[in-house]
Amino acid sequence: FLDVPDFFWEDDKWQAFWHRVHHHLQLQERIDILNTRYSCILELLNVVRREQCQDHEFRMTWIIVLLLVAQVVAAAVKYVVLDEP
């Protein structure tokens, strides 16, 4: 949108028309607004991605803790059952 389209390069009188339309529609300002919104959305997506990774790490940590507890319980049961006279 910022460059003059090839169609308008063919005839100089159309270039002036393109520049007037570009100015009238405030394309530069609109593109700047879109870029700002894009940056905000990108930052929001990065925050969501980090939060999702932290949530996954939290769940994995609890799975490991539960597996360790199960292993300790199994070892205790084995010790009590096999060493009992």
Query: Does residue 82 register a pLDDT over 70?
Result: yes
Identify residue 21 by its one-letter amino acid code.
V
pLDDT of residue 50: 95
Question: Please, are residues 4 and 15 in contact by the beta-carbon 8 Å criterion?
Answer: yes
Residue spans of the domains in the chain: they are 6-82
Element (H, E) at 2: none
pLDDT higher for 6 or 32? 32
Lowest pLDDT segment from 2-6, 16-20, 31-35, 59-63 = 2-6
State how far the alpha carbon of 9 is from the alpha carbons of 5, 13, 15, 26, 74, in Å: 7, 9, 6, 21, 80
pLDDT of residue 1: 58
